[in-house]
A and B are shown apart, each in its own frame.
Chain A
Amino acid sequence: MTVTAEDLTRQATEFLASHDPASTDRMEFLRARFDAGLAWIHFPAGLGGQNAPRALQSVVDSVFADAGAPDNNPRRIGIGLGMAAPTILAFGTPEQRERFLRPLWTGEEVWCQLFSEPGAGSDLAALGTRAVRDGDDWIVTGQKVWTSGAHESQWAILVTRTDPDVPKHQGMTYFLCDMTAPGVEVRPLRQITGEAEFNEVFLTDVRIPDTQRLGAVGEGWKVAQTTLMNERVAIGGHVQPREGGLIGIVAKTWRERPELRTPELRDRLVQRWVEAETLRLAGTRLRQQLTAGAPGPEGSAMKVAFSELNQALTGLEVELLGEEGLAYDDWSFRRPAIVDFTGREAGYRYLRAKGNSIEGGTSEVLRNIIAERVLGLPSEPRVDKDVAWKDLPR
């Protein structure tokens, strides 16, 4: 029988009656919520859920939020929740699910993602971090990059090369890597903004037990696809109120600072406003399609448009500020806990937005995806298709 919104509201209310958020230890509270099947309700029973429809998650979340209950700080553990967890659920052994999902959801163990490499960006499947079998373990050596939160993580999802003699999409294997294991070295990667949101991770003879392999040997690409699909779901599902994004900040500046206004800037600002509003509507429409059970292929297009808008808008904001735009708030080498577009000033936003068209799929790759998968145009030539990974030019 399907669980209804009423059932879930009742369950959450009963849970709150027996676990007073005000007097219960935060971690005890979160563990108990997980054990009650009220964490991610679409997960199976015993693993934090009850196989309930995912669309009803917000019903449960709002009951807890209204009661002032502590949450698991979802922004801090976004990679675990959005990417590691669905992959462990899909490919994990019963022991792996049992071991990892609960501390992942409560935030006791933070996760990061060891996918991209200096030599494997858009072409992720070309990655070369080697894993070599040694008895019941694997010995892993290589370099990963663009790893957010690596310095605060206990665990990582890791894709490696286990067989260099077959074409690149074969011969990969996926692991759960202990970030505190000997041989794991995390170095901050400083960006054009001055700060370091991300890290480089150097792996030198890191020993990973075979029990931490996720999926079969050689099936790493398939497992990684599940992770990446969930990343796209996480990026696409956000709906804002009018003026909810960065446009709201620039519009506020415009309203409060008449001395900055010129007719030419005004028309450009309205153009960006129109683009922001249309993008917001398209996002709402995409969400309505999902709710109606007919998801469309618009996600990649939305991301391309979002990047372009953010870049044009933040550029305009610096220009609008005139001589103030010549100053920058802080170049010092900092390690922000989360990316915060609104907590910094215009120059930072302008520089950080440059990453929008690179991270999570470059706009160029996304345009290929739209052209090939949505419009059905011919694929790019695949010169590496039947070549063993070790023989690829690099």
Chain B
Amino acid sequence: MSDLLYSDVEEDLRASVRDLLKAKAGAEALLARVETAEPYDLKLWHTLADEVGVAGLAVPEELGGHGASAREVAVVAEELGRSVAPVPFLGSVVLATTALVHVGAREFVGKLAAGQAIGALAVPLSTAPGAGFPSSVTANPDGTLTGRVGTVADASVADLLVVPAAGPDGPALYVVEATAATVSELVSFDLTRRVADVSLETAPATLVASGPEAAAALEQALLFGAGILASEQAGVAEWALTETVTYLKGRYQFGRPVGGFQSLKHRLANLYTDLVLARAAARNAADALATGTDVPIAVAVAQARNAPIAVKATEEAVQLHGGIGMTWEHPAHLYLKRAKADELALGTPGRHRARLADLIDLPA
């Protein structure tokens, strides 16, 4: 049976990440940044990547990482969800690094793990595990790449793009320097995790895997990403619940704390119940990814369950905060936007349920 608790080491890691985020990524700082030319906090990212060591957390030691597992990565994701800190953790550590570790691309992994470069996986963020290998980018006979990929997470701050492309012998995985591509950040629904269009016009590229190995690397990255995202979603939901409870204890109307009205207490109790379930699902997915046991089912269950829970929790946070929850100055909208974007990211709940139905033999 999976270990669904947090170890002491994991709690220590959580504490360091939480302390740092509390100091550097408070709500005011986030809101001040979202409409500037630097929506990502790269200074904070470098502290997280180098000093806390999250960049190479789950990278094997022989490839220059810390040799931890998905369980630790999930703890960091949970804390980043609680703070919606604008750092390229998902794109770089969770997606791009996982794909490159899978194919053993030593040189690139080394750079990413050391925090010397930021990576992004050049697929639309909505790509689900089990989706067909993408063909919107094609390898030219001279080894360069041409094509376009929309809504790539964290691409606007990436140095290295991991690009799945149709190679001469089928699926292939390449690494492209971001400077060789045209990366245009979209006006993104999620203000704290941006998506960008990536255009490649005979861009120089390094082939790192081809054939089934390339397809397996992409699938592994997508599964890992979807599983870890469940922890981020649990963190988002936890923030929404905690923040709303605190607000409703202190907000007085009709001469009493609003949090004393039973209709609101029951809605918060329901959010708590959801959070208990979301945490169990997230821990199970992280443990499955760490041990390699039962991965597809654990990931599909966690995404099918946690994505709607995070959306519900942040929607309730907006509603239960009343008018202030609808304002730009209150951070609730940053979490709502993250939760809603996360619902689409790496497969919608419906996609995960459809995949799960096949995995658990509930035939159409």
Interface string of A20-42 (1 = CB under 8 A from B): 00000000000000000000000
Segment 333-385 of A: residues with Cβ below 8 Å from B: 364, 366-368, 370-372, 374-380
Asked if A367 and B305 make an inter-chain contact with CB atoms under 8 angstroms apart, the answer reads: no
Q: Does A255 contact B (CB under 8 A)?
A: yes
Chain B residue numbers with a CB within 8 Å of A273 are: 356, 360, 362
Q: Give the docked Cα–Cα distance between A282 and B304 (Å).
A: 15
Given contacts A266-B364, A269-B362, A368-B262, are A274 and B353 in contact (CB under 8 A)? yes
Q: Is the CB of B283 within 8 A of A285?
A: yes
Instruction: Let me know if A282 and B277 touch, CB within 8 A.
Output: yes
At the interface, yes or no: B24 with Cβ under 8 Å from chain A? no
Q: Can you report 12 A-B residue pairs in the complex whose CB atoms are below 8 A from each other?
A: A251-B360, A254-B362, A266-B357, A267-B354, A273-B360, A273-B362, A278-B281, A304-B273, A368-B262, A371-B265, A378-B256, A378-B260
The answer on a CB contact under 8 Å between B276 and A298 is: yes
Contact for A271 among B279, B281, B353, CB less than 8 A: B353
- Contact yes or no, A278 B277, CB < 8 A: yes
Chain B proximity of A235: nearest CB distance (Å): 15
Q: Which residues A228-261 have CB closer than 8 A to chain B?
A: 251, 254-255, 258, 261
Q: Does A292 contact B (CB under 8 A)?
A: yes
Q: Give chain B residues whose Cβ lies under 8 Å from the Cβ of A278.
A: 277-278, 280-281, 301, 305
Residue B211 is within 8 A (CB to CB) of chain A in the complex:
no
Chain B residues near A375: list those with CB within 8 A. 241, 245, 265, 268-269, 272
Is A319 at the interface (CB under 8 A from chain B)?
no
Cβ-defined partner of B249 (8 Å) among A251, A285, A292, A377: A377
Cross-interface CB contact of B4 among A279, A288, A374, A378, cutoff 8 Å: A288
B363 touches A258 (CB 8 A): yes
Contacts of A254 in B (CB 8 A): 362
Instruction: Choose from B245, B269, B356 the contact partner of A304 (Cβ within 8 Å).
Output: B269
Interface residues on A, range: 35 or more
Task: Kindly supply a per-residue 1/0 record for chain B positions 233-262, scoring 1 wherever the CB is within 8 Å of any chain A CB and 0 otherwise.
Answer: 000000001000100110000001101101
Map CB proximity to A onto B100-144 as digits: 1 under 8 Å, 0 otherwise.
Answer: 000000000000000000000000000000000000000000000
A281 adjacent to chain B (CB < 8 Å): yes
Number of residues from B at the complex interface, CB < 8 A = 42
Bound: A374/B260 CA distance, A? 14
The reply to whether A378 and B269 form a contact with Cβ atoms under 8 Å apart is: no
Closest 10 CB pairs between A and B?
A378-B260, A371-B265, A367-B269, A282-B280, A370-B269, A285-B4, A281-B280, A301-B273, A367-B266, A270-B353
Nearest residue, chain B, Cβ from A375: B245
B contact patch SS: helix
A185 an interface residue at 8 Å Cβ cutoff?
no
Does A302 have its Cβ within 8 Å of any Cβ on chain B?
Answer: yes
B350 located at the interface, meaning its Cβ lies under 8 Å from any Cβ of chain A in the complex? yes
Given A278-B280, A288-B3; A377-B364 close (CB under 8 Å) = no
Residue of A at shortest CB range from B350? A267
C-alpha gap A302/B305 in the complex (Å): 15
A222 to B356, CA, bound (A): 49
Whether A305 contacts B272 by the Cβ 8 Å rule is no
B187 at the interface (CB under 8 A from A): no
Instruction: Determine if A284 is an interface residue (Cβ-Cβ < 8 Å).
Output: yes
The answer to whether B272 and A277 touch across the interface, beta carbons within 8 angstroms, is: no
- Write out, one digit per residue, whether chain A residues 82-118 have a CB within 8 A of any chain B CB (1) or not (0): 0000000000000000000000000000000000000
- On chain B, the residues within 8 Å of A305 by CB distance are 273, 276-277
B260 touches A255 (CB 8 A): no
In the complex, A285 Cα to B180 Cα: how many Å?
48
Q: A364 to chain B: which residues have CB within 8 Å?
A: 266
Question: Does A195 belong to the interface (CB within 8 Å)?
Answer: no
Contact call B360/A284, Cβ cutoff below 8 A: no
Give a binary string over B345-363; 1 marks a CB under 8 Å from any A CB, 0 the rest: 0000010011011001111
Interface pair B362/A251, CB less than 8 Å apart = yes
Inter-chain CA distance A378–B256, complex, in Å, is: 9
The answer to whether A279 touches B277, judged by C-beta atoms less than 8 angstroms apart, is: yes
Q: Does B179 contact A (CB under 8 A)?
A: no
Asked if B5 lies at the interface with its beta carbon under 8 angstroms from chain A, I say yes
Q: Is B16 an interface residue (CB 8 A)?
A: no
A304 contact set on B, CB distance < 8 A: 269-270, 273
Q: Could you tell me the distance in whole angstroms from the C-beta of A208 to the nearest C-beta in chain B? A: 39
Q: Does B231 contact A (CB under 8 A)?
A: no
Chain A residues with CB under 8 A of B265: 367-368, 371-372, 375, 377
* Cα distance A284–B305 in the bound complex, in angstroms: 17
Q: Is the CB of A266 within 8 A of B245?
A: no
Those of B272-308 within 8 Å (CB) of chain A: 272-273, 276-281, 283-284, 301, 304-305
Partner of A377, one of B245, B277, B357, B361: B245
- In the assembled complex, the CB of A300 is this many whole angstroms from the nearest CB of chain B, namely 8
A275 at the interface (CB under 8 A from B): yes
**Contact in complex: B284, A267 (CB < 8 Å):** no
Q: How far is the CA of A271 from the CA of B262 in the complex (A)?
A: 29
- B37 on the A face (CB < 8 A): no
Interface centre among A279, A281, A298, A305 (most CB of B within 10 A): A281
CB-based contact B276/A255 at 8 Å: no
A371: chain B residues at CB < 8 Å are 265-266, 268-269
B9 CB within 8 Å of chain A = no
Smallest distance from the beta carbon of B260 to chain A beta carbons, Å?
3
Q: Which residue of B lies closest to A296 (CB)?
A: B276
Residue of A nearest to B249 (CB): A377
Chain B nearest Cβ from A246, distance in angstroms: 15
Whether B1 sits at the interface, judged by CB under 8 Å, is yes
Report Cα–Cα, A336/B231, bound state, in Å: 45
A261 touches B364 (CB 8 A): yes
In angstroms, how far is the closest chain B Cβ from the Cβ of A219? Answer: 31
- Besides A266-B364, A278-B280, A367-B265, 18 other CB < 8 A contacts? A255-B362, A255-B363, A261-B363, A269-B362, A277-B301, A281-B2, A281-B4, A281-B284, A282-B276, A288-B3, A289-B5, A301-B272, A368-B265, A370-B269, A374-B269, A374-B272, A377-B249, A377-B260
